[in-house]
């Protein structure tokens, strides 16, 4: 029995032994399919990957979760680090929520002097007033830093220095509003940034209540005066943008204090429409703003939480609907009872420009009365609304 146990391995061992050099060629045909997977799997078994390895970031990816020491190694100066982060926010505003906390912590380790804090304020202010799409993000950034930066030197904390910087620009408002085109453009960027600051900069009281900066509310009122006192087109457009942005909040705040400032602003707009030498398009913008304000800035207060807005219960239901024209030049909108029929007729019209060839050549002749007057005449609907507005404004004046 024991001998058989001893001999059994000897009988099986030659079958498992690797083939000799003479047998290698025949075995390649029968076992090549099985040998190949073993060659592929071997490197996986030898892998040195580890769950504790550093996180991988693709090339070109900006990671702002580094420690203060790492940042100091990557960026030799504070302005370089801050400017790079501001540019990153401009390109990827969605990263604000995930990266702002680490950014503030890094600044707390870096901004330790009055000069450094002043430099930080100036960098953010310049980005917010030179990049049109950054004013909102800049205001949010200023609000966060005003609550999370720990440095508070004798010259003032972050919020105080920011407001001082804005005041410097504010004091030159009258000269800026009547300056050259470049000066006015810079001034308009400041005005809109101040509007965003008013909406986003939170001031926490001693009892924990959150309020807005009253100084900004007063400043916006005076900025509107400066813009309307110099009724150039770009100044008036800036005023319209500011009121669309902050009008509802300003009016609510003024009403709570028993003030009639918004009534005065609207009266100022009506005077500009009647008397100012501004373009027709700008006058139409101002009229639309007055209409927006008359509809409570587009806010609809439903009488019931379960009641949906309909043409019957919401006067603003069709406010933003486009205006179309029939073949006879009669205007119609979605509010028109025959809207579907008229719109279908509009779609079925094939020849919209009978006097033009495909390459744009004008075949109508130089004396075409419609083309000669197209830039000088209002359409009937706008002309009727404008005349109605002028008569109403004149009636209010006499009262």
Please tell me the distance from the alpha carbon of residue 349 to that of residue 360, in angstroms, as a whole number.
19
Eight-state DSSP code of residue 56: P
146 CB-near residues (< 8 Å, 6+ apart): 157, 158, 159, 162, 201
Question: Exposed, middle or buried by CB within 10 Å (0-12, 13-18, 19+), for 282?
Answer: buried
What is the model's pTM? Answer: 0.61
Q: What is the pLDDT along the chain (399 residues), one digit of tens a residue?
A: 444 334 444 444 444 444 444 444 444 444 444 444 554 444 545 556 666 666 555 544 445 545 545 555 677 799 999 999 999 999 999 999 999 999 999 999 999 999 999 999 999 999 999 997 899 999 999 999 999 999 888 888 999 999 999 999 999 999 999 999 999 999 999 999 999 999 999 988 777 788 888 899 999 999 999 999 999 999 999 999 999 999 999 999 999 999 999 999 999 999 999 887 889 999 999 999 999 999 999 887 544 444 565 655 555 555 555 666 666 666 666 666 666 777 777 666 644 444 444 444 444 444 444 444 445 566 777 777 777 777 777 777 666
pLDDT at residue 137, rounded to an integer: 95
């Amino acid at each position: 029995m024991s001998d058989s146990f001893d001999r059994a391995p000897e009988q099986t061992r030659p079958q498992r032994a690797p083939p000799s050099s003479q047998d290698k060629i025949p075995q390649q045909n029968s076992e090549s399919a099985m040998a190949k997977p073993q060659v592929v799997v071997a490197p996986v078994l030898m892998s040195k990957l580890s769950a504790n390895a550093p996180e991988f970031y693709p090339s070109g990816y900006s990671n702002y979760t580094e420690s203060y020491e790492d940042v100091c190694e990557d960026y030799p100066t504070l302005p370089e680090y801050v400017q790079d982060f501001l540019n990153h926010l401009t390109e990827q505003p969605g990263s604000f929520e995930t990266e702002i906390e680490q950014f503030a912590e890094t600044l707390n380790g870096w901004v330790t002097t009055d000069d450094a804090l002043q430099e930080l304020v100036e960098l953010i202010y310049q980005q917010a007033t030179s990049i049109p799409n950054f004013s909102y993000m800049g205001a949010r950034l200023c609000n966060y830093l005003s609550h999370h930066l720990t440095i508070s030197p004798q010259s003032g904390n972050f919020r105080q220095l920011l407001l001082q910087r804005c005041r410097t620009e504010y004091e030159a408002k009258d000269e800026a509003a009547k300056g050259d085109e470049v000066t006015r453009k810079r001034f308009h960027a400041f005005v809109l940034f101040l509007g965003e600051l008013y909406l986003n900069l939170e001031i926490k009281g001693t009892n924990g209540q959150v309020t807005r900066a009253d100084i900004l509310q007063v400043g916006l009122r005076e900025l509107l005066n400066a813009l309307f006192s110099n009724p150039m087109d770009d100044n008036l457009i800036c005023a319209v943008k500011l009121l669309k942005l902050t009008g509802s909040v300003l009016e609510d705040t003024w009403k709570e204090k028993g003030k009639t400032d918004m009534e005065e602003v609207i009266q100022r707009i009506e005077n500009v429409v009647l008397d100012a030498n501004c373009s027709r398009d700008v006058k139409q913008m101002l009229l639309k703003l007055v209409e927006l304000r008359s509809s409570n800035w587009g806010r609809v207060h439903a009488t019931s939480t379960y009641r949906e807005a309909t043409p019957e219960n919401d006067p603003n239901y069709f406010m933003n609907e486009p205006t179309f024209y029939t073949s006879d030049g009669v205007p119609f909108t979605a509010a028109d009872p025959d809207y579907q029929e008229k719109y279908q007729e509009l779609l079925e019209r094939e020849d919209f420009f009978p006097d033009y060839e495909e390459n744009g050549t004008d075949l109508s002749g130089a004396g075409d009365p419609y083309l000669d007057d197209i830039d000088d005449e209002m359409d009937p609907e706008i002309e009727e609304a404008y005349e109605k507005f002028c008569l109403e404004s004149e009636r209010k004046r006499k009262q």
